[in-house]
Amino acid sequence: MKIRIITFLLLFKTILSFGQVVFEKGYFIDGNNRKTECFIKNYDWRNNPTDFEYKMEVSDTVKKSNILMVKEFGIYGDSRFVRATVNIDRSYTEINRMSTLKSPFWSKEQLFLKVLIAGKASLYYYFDNETPKFFYSKTDTPIQQLIYKEYLTDQGINTNDSFRQQLWNDLKCENTTINSLEKLNFNKKDLVNFFKAYNTCHGDTSFYQLQPVQNRDFFNLRITPGINYSSMIFNNPIMNESIRYDNTLSFRIGVETEYILPFNKNKWGFIFEPTYQYYTSKKMVPNYNSLVTVNSGFVEFPIGLRYYYFLNSDLKIYLNGFYIPVYTINLISSTKFNDSSNKDVTPGQSFAIGGAVEYKNVNLEVRYYSAKNLLSSYAYYSTDYSRIAVIIGYKFLKIQTKKKM
């Protein structure tokens, strides 16, 4: 089993290596203020990066640069990052480690900040698996963090929301009121709107703004009927016998739930696909004059990851990797020797990899399943049940959500 697991992981890793995040037109500015036009590998970073990969031309070799060498880089029409040495609050956010102090725990660090608004007043974003953090500056002031911190008190969790006072002191317009700031939430949408209003109020109508929020795929439901081409070997160590059954065709059907992960440009999906599988075959074993019949029909519950490669707006290919746990729902379950000695089918764990072409809402997939033991609860018997499936999927429900900046 260990060999099968390792082989599966190596195969899946090899397949994923063919998927490429695209290089897009961009630029970077070095420490001497030299601007270089290039093509930057767009990872649609969830966490703020510390380095990036680029090519001078699409056909060139890949080069790498980092925060020590570059003061700014960007991908046109997508994102822009600037290097800044700032004080950042590194207070813990987990309840079991949360501070009882109201004031931030400052750490001086050099970071790439994502630019959301750039003008008379600029707004920046930073995220690294903790809570989102926002920074701001004016044309004549250094970049500083907007303060928002949760901390523990005897009454529970309290909030230091000094960011409202910072905005009142530094960035108020004629129509800014204390009441409007009290209603301001600490999130991208509210803060972006506030900084847009401030720049417009002060006559700056040409300020930079990150691209408007766009729809992104979020949740898909597919029905996945198909055909299994199955083979099985029945192992009986008591008789020192391995019975190889004839390959058979059988029907399978599943319902796939897919959640598109909110980073890396919609290229990764988490999949859960309850699937009904059916296999039946019989074989006469001359060595001990017995007809061994196998009937198995069960619902299994694969979970896995999917990686997309987009060819155009309607056409894409994708690669899957699944883990199929032991838990199943048996609907037909028997292994018999001459209609006696019935042994219940108890499927063990297995794995699967597959590749598909999808056009709009229809996809065609070929999937290989590693060998599964259908008699996993028995000490002296086992099977190697393998399948190759051809699956036709139809996406009957697609939900989109707004892509976060």
Note the pLDDT tens digit of each residue in 347-390. 788 999 999 999 999 999 999 999 888 777 776 677 788 899 99
Average pLDDT, stretch 67-79? Answer: 93
pLDDT at residue 19 in the model: 46
Which of 321, 296, 302, 326 lies closest to 224 in space, CA to CA? 302
Residue recorded with tokens 């060498």: 69
Give the number of other Cβ atoms within 10 Å of residue 341's Cβ: 10
**In this structure, what token pair is assigned to residue 385?**
């049940």
pLDDT at residue 10 in the model: 57
Spatial neighbors of 32 by CB under 8 A, at least 6 apart, are none
Residue recorded with tokens 């060139």: 60
pLDDT at residue 234 in the model: 77
pLDDT at residue 58 in the model: 86
Average pLDDT, stretch 272-276? Answer: 96
Q: CA distances (Å), 217 to each of 53, 55, 273, 394, in order?
A: 26, 29, 18, 16
* Distance, CA of 320 to CA of 311 (rounded, Å): 17
Q: What is the DSSP letter of 186?
A: S
Q: What H or E segment, with its residue span, contains residue 371? A: strand 362-372
Residue 399 exposed, middle or buried by CB count within 10 Å (0-12, 13-18, 19+): exposed
Compare 65 and 211 and report the one with higher pLDDT.
65
* Distance, CA of 126 to CA of 210 (rounded, Å): 14
Tell me the domain boundaries of the chain.
Answer: 21-209, 215-402
- Class of 215-402 per CATH? mainly beta
